[in-house]
Chain A
């Protein structure tokens, strides 16, 4: 049986205790909401997209350590990155979470700290927590593209 250390890696707890990019952005930044109906986690992702670059991102809402740290790490990883690169990273992350419908990702998007969330896969119930922010971000990018 996987141990707690597999799930709650130090860097994850660090992001949970001091989340990066907390807050909100004013319009025209895009606000997207995500819910995990099973456990009541709620997240809001605000993104500003300028010239195909995610120039700013803020996160608000509440949830467990996994959903919160995943959101925080995501925000740190994508801020200032081109939209195409962000999409590749979303893909890669969901692949790491073994979400079925994702085929082999482009490994040129580096995972960095996000690698620490790898252990979540051993706790299938928590995968939903880890991908909540990412699905919400993907929705926000779709809105931005419209």
Chain B
């Protein structure tokens, strides 16, 4: 093991809990992750002893809360290697971040006759905002297809990007686990004069991120998938783009001045942060980033590659033809997220039997219906692993699947 797994597990109170006398086998971190004690403590200490609104007042508590809120921004900026802290905008979640890009950048830059490029493996959060805007503006959406083993099929990418204004893609599929070659995709987009928008929800929590190395234009991600609380998400954008964009939501905090005739916008990042912000959540997120940094994102990735190797080997050895694991079998190009079909048992029924053993997996379409149609499945079961998961938990999944098979012999 590259990381001290027992030590890590001890930091997550919920992992020591039992349900009906059995331990929790939590394999749904691609959906949302659990929180270490340090995050929980940071938030409760803040609420108990440090709480105050930010930015608006001179008193000590307000100044301290503002410093903590801005400190979270600085930490997040370093975590993804952003050039400036003010390039990081706090939102409600990644979905809101992507809506922000579509509504602010998209509305100002896209019109009839234009095209943008998405991929066949996008989450609804990176599809629907563009479709909503396309219905108003009349631009077209082109789709990058997939290869048989669930990678992006780049054989016609130059045609697809020709004349396109934006290429928005996920850095890692939440269904297939595929890790996309972000740097290469950004450079392809730029070669065609398109901006590159990265949905980083699934990769940022699991491996190192360097937006400057990528040379990306926007990156959207969520706190709750990276050990932080719900209720806060991030949009990073290049300063020049954020500066040139109109605001997204209007209200307090985002203005420089308001008169009866109109308003002027505040500087970055306040320009995109209308209203009272998720201050408590930012404090929790800040502790989550500290936690991840202390372990090291290379180590997190290393650990998850080991789990992936073990999971692929064990599942295929034990179930052979009875299991179909979607996506690539090469752990170099995939994360530890596995969607699978098991015999003819419906994913809902799989997850029900697994639940009897406290094995938590997600069953459904994973908010990626276009991809599900491509896989020819209405639903899949998905087991996803994180830094606190163990190979023993892969075995627990397998044992529970064996029982599922016995129960549903058709």
Contacts and interface: CB of A to CB of B under 8 A. Distances in A.
A4 B407 contact: yes
Report whether over half of chain B's contact residues are helix, strand or loop; otherwise say mixed: mixed
B346 A65 contact: yes
Interface stretch (B164-172, B218-226, B264-272, B348-356): B348-356
A41 interface: yes
B350 to A, nearest CB: 9
Contacts of B142: none
A39 B363 contact: yes
A40 interface: yes
A4 B353 contact: yes
B309 interface: no
Given A40-B364, A40-B365, A65 B349 contact: yes
Interface in B279-324: none
Given A1-B20, A17-B410, A64-B346, A7 B365 contact: no
Nearest to A1: B20
B372 interface: yes
Given A39-B364, A62-B378, A4 B356 contact: yes
Contacts of A1: 19-20
B263 interface: no
A39 B356 contact: no
Contacts of B356: 3-4
A63 interface: yes
A63 B408 CA distance: 14
B194 interface: no
Given A3-B356, A39-B379, A40-B372, A66 B348 contact: yes
B378 A7 contact: no
Given A3-B356, A40-B369, 13 more contacts: A1-B20, A4-B353, A4-B356, A4-B407, A39-B379, A40-B365, A41-B378, A41-B379, A63-B348, A63-B378, A64-B348, A65-B348, A65-B349
Given A1-B20, A39-B348, A40-B372, A8 B407 contact: yes
B352 A126 contact: yes
A64 B348 CA distance: 6
Interface of A: 1, 3-4, 7-8, 13, 17, 38-42, 62-66, 123, 126, 129
Contacts of B365: 39-40
A51 B170 CA distance: 56
Contacts of B20: 1
Given A38-B364, A65-B346, A4 B352 contact: yes
A129 B378 contact: no
B54 to A, nearest CB: 37
A131 to B, nearest CB: 14
Given A38-B364, A40-B378, A41-B378, A64 B349 contact: yes
B181 to A, nearest CB: 30
B378 A65 contact: no
Nearest to A3: B356
17 contacts: A1-B19, A4-B356, A4-B407, A13-B408, A39-B348, A39-B363, A39-B364, A39-B365, A39-B379, A40-B364, A40-B369, A40-B379, A42-B378, A63-B378, A64-B347, A66-B348, A126-B352
Interface string B338-362: 0000000011110011001000000
